[in-house]
């Protein structure tokens, strides 16, 4: 009788340990999924910000190039009559 009771207690304890491990695994999976999801969202946000910044820089460089071109053309028009 004592051995049977001890065996039943051992079995109950083992099942409790298995349940605890399964629940811990589920919690860990949920945590990892959350971390990955947040990481993906942050990556998309950073990519969008980088793309926007790159577009802004390219537009500014284009404007500067146009301004420089206009200045050079204006200077040439001013200097050409002087070369004759």
13-54 pLDDT, tens per residue?
999 999 999 999 999 999 999 999 999 999 999 999 999 999
Q: What pLDDT was estimated at residue 83?
A: 61
pLDDT at residue number 81: 76
Q: Rounded to two decimals, what is the model's pTM?
A: 0.59
The DSSP string of the chain is -HHHHHHHHHHHHHHHHHHHHHHHHHHHHHHHHHHHHHHHHHHHHHHHHHHHHHHHHHHHHHHHHHHHHHHHHHHHHHHHHHH-
Residue 58's Cα: distance from chain center in Å?
23
At 84 the pLDDT is 58
From the number of C-beta atoms within 10 Å of its C-beta (0-12, 13-18, 19+), residue 11 rates as exposed
Closest Cα to residue 23, out of 11, 31, 12? 31
């Amino acid at each position: 009788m004592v051995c049977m009771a001890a065996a039943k207690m051992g079995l109950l304890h083992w099942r409790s340990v298995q349940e605890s491990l399964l629940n811990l695994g589920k919690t860990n999976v949920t945590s990892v999924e959350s971390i990955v999801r947040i990481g993906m969202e942050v990556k998309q946000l950073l990519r969008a910000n980088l793309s926007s910044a790159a577009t802004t820089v390219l537009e500014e460089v284009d404007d500067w190039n146009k301004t420089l071109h206009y200045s050079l053309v204006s200077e040439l028009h001013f200097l050409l009559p002087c070369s004759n």
